[in-house]
């Protein structure tokens, strides 16, 4: 049975398939924000309009694209990308973000992915575009380093990598 993608009719978010993922996202020189989701996941269903609004707000940025992949339909692919919780947002081709030039993509902090203004500022900052919020401060979840102008992620809620590895085979729906 075919799964129902949450973004199939979206004018702003590309519904991705594994067979074209590398060509469309990984080999593209533009930055991509990709949400890995499952249509049966309540948190994913509630997050879809938020991700859609974020994508719509950046429609004028030709160097930034938004995609989504349905892990209920493509579970093996999502597992191969180390996605075990839904929704998971990953960033590709963001110079300021560790891992964003790998096939797994760079992790976008969960607390940040749900804040529309903050994630917008964060994306521009990670792309190397000077961005500050209306208050003139760096977005929540981003801290400037004293050694360089590159911001670093400040996500104390992220579990240690050893703990992540222990539950690698389980799938979790996250708030």
pLDDT for position 52: 96
What percent of the chain has pLDDT above 90?
A: 57
Q: Is there a contact between 90 and 26 (Cβ–Cβ < 8 Å)?
A: no
Q: What is the pLDDT of residues 91-130, one digit of tens each?
A: 999 998 999 999 999 999 888 888 888 898 888 888 875 4
Q: Is there a contact between 24 and 16 (Cβ–Cβ < 8 Å)?
A: yes
pLDDT band at 173 (very low <50, low <70, confident <90, very high): low
**Closest of 96, 18, 1, 164 to residue 34, by C-alpha:** 18
* For range 20-35, the mean pLDDT: 94
pLDDT for position 145: 34
């Amino acid at each position: 049975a075919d799964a129902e993608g949450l973004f199939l009719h979206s004018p702003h978010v590309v519904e991705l398939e594994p067979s074209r993922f590398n060509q469309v996202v990984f080999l593209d020189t533009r930055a991509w924000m990709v949400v890995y989701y499952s249509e049966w996941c309540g948190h994913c269903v509630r997050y879809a309009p938020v991700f859609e609004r974020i994508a719509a707000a950046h429609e004028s940025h030709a160097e930034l694209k938004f995609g989504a992949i349905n892990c209920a339909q493509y579970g093996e692919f999502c597992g191969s990308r180390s996605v075990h919780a839904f929704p998971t947002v990953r960033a590709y081709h963001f110079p300021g973000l560790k891992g964003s030039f790998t096939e797994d993509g760079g992790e976008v902090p969960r607390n940040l992915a749900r804040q529309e203004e903050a994630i917008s500022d964060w994306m521009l900052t990670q792309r190397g575009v000077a961005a500050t919020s209306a208050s003139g401060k760096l977005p929540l979840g981003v801290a400037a380093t004293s050694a360089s102008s590159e911001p670093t992620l400040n996500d104390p809620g992220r579990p240690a990598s050893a703990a992540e590895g222990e539950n690698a085979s389980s799938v979790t729906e996250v708030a």
